[in-house]
Every structure is written in structure tokens, then in C-alpha cells.
Amino acid sequence: MSFKIVVIGTSLGGLSALKIILGKLPADFLVPIAIVQHRHKESNNTLQELLQEFTSLPIREVEDKEEMLPGHIYLAPPDYHLLVEPGHFALSTDEPVCYARPSIDVLFESAADVYTQQVIGVILTGANQDGMQGLKKIKVRGGLTIVQEPTTAESDIMPEAAISAITVDWILTLENIASQVVKLCHSLRK
């Protein structure tokens, strides 16, 4: 079975966490990655530019109905929920979830609905509970779940919430999250 998407959710401390993970992905990594990083609704595309310095994979902010391409990294734009639909993304301005728009839960739950066991969900550092319900849904639908080791997180609230909600498949440091995702996605290509 091959994975269709890797979804990553993070908040406080997410930029440095994402730099480490994305920096460890090989140039031939083919599974699309969608990321929700909580940020101010006025924020510009600096996040994309900052992260692009650390990976050769193309990073872009999602536009509504954008096609999901292999080997691309997609960022939820500020103030929009990012949803997964079969083969593409959708954006929504529905109410914030867990005080957040974009919401990690919205991304994770839509990915689980569309791709069930072909989803890898990753929760990183963050200072709220967003992502907990979404990760739970990925797990229920048969997808794989990875959470940053809380003691290594800039803010352990989000990882702790996820770990307390479900039996997570892996609890790893940032370096090991990257290699685990690569191992999962690459070993299944053969």
C-alpha cells in the first residue's frame, strides 16, 4: 500500500521544527506533504520563503482547487482552512476550530475522510489542543500517526494532547520523524 499524503500540524515553535524535518527529506521524496502552521492572518509568504531554503522540494501556499502533485509541499494560507479532496485541495473560510484558522483538525480530518489508511499524520510542537481530534480520526481510519517527543518540543501542549488522546504509532524526535516518514514512503514504492 502506498501513501497518498503526509499531513503535518504545528503551532508555537513550528518554524524551527519544520526546517529540521523538511531539510531531511530527499530530493526524490514523492508523497505530497500538506502543512498547517498556525500563524497570524496578516502574515505574508515569508514562511514559504524561509522553509524553501531548507529543502529542494517545491513549497507553495495552496490555492483553492489546486491539484495535489507528488514531491510538493503545500502550506495552508493564513486565515483559510485547508481541506483535502480527491486529488486536490480546497480552501474554506468556515469558523475557526480550536481558535485556529487554518485548523490542523480540519486538514487531518479531511485527509482521513478521503485517503483513509493512506495518510500519515504528524503533530509537532504547539501551544494548544488543535490536531488532537484530527490525529484521532486518521488513526481510526487506519492511517499512521507520528507525534514529536514532547520533551523535545518548544511547546509540549499539542504533542501531549495528541498522545493522551490516542495510541500514537511513533513518538519521535524531529530528526527521527523525518527519517521515519521517508522510510514509510520509500519502502512502499518498491
- Active-site positions read 11, 38, 130
Q: Long-range contacts of range 55-63, CB-CB < 8 Å, 24 or more positions apart?
A: 55/22, 55/23, 55/25, 56/27, 57/22, 57/25, 57/27, 57/29, 57/33, 59/22, 62/34, 62/89, 62/91, 63/91
Cα 176 to Cα 24, 79, 170, 171, 180, distances in angstroms: 10, 31, 10, 9, 6
Q: Based on the number of CB atoms within 10 Å of its own CB, is 79 exposed (0-12), middle (13-18) or buried (19 or more)? A: middle
Task: Give the residue from 23, 57, 28, 38 showing the smallest Cα distance to 130.
Answer: 38
